[in-house]
């Protein structure tokens, strides 16, 4: 792992002055930091992935939406059962996936 990249990501989080950094910047930061500290950043990554799956950038791309939600589910599932955010982000990811699959089924 490139320690300079990790340090830059941490600085970006501190300078953002927000609880959760969203969008593509958040995805990049949390994907990197989850590799280093999964319990500290995994729930935020899962949360941002669920948000990204509903963004206008992928609204017409159900395969990408599904990939983001599958990644969110995998990240949240990998969190320790004692992680206080695990259940919440996992439920959000599964709910978003069910909703997407329901739209795909009814749209066909």
- CATH number, position 48: 1.25.40
Q: Number of structural domains, the chain? A: 1
**In this structure, what token pair is assigned to residue 49?**
């992935």
Tell me how crowded residue 88 is: count the other CB atoms within 10 A of its CB: 14
Q: Residue 71 sits in which domain range? A: 3-107
- The pTM assigned to this predicted structure is 0.91
CA distance 72 to 31: 11
* Model pLDDT for residues 1-37, shown as the tens digit of each residue: 789 999 999 999 888 878 889 999 999 999 999 999 9
The rounded percent of the chain whose pLDDT value lies above 90 is: 77
Q: What is the pLDDT of residue 19?
A: 83
Q: How many CA atoms lie within 13 A of 71 on its CB side?
A: 21
């Amino acid at each position: 792992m490139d320690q300079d990249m990790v340090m830059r990501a941490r600085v970006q989080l501190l300078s953002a002055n927000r609880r959760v950094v969203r969008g593509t910047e958040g995805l990049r930061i949390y994907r990197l930091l989850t590799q280093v500290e999964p319990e500290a950043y995994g729930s935020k990554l899962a949360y941002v992935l669920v948000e990204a799956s509903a963004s206008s950038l992928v609204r017409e791309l159900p395969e990408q939406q599904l990939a983001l939600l599958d990644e969110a589910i995998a990240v949240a599932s990998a969190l320790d059962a004692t992680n206080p955010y695990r259940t919440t982000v996992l439920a959000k990811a599964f709910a978003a996936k069910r909703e997407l699959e329901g739209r795909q089924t009814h749209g066909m």
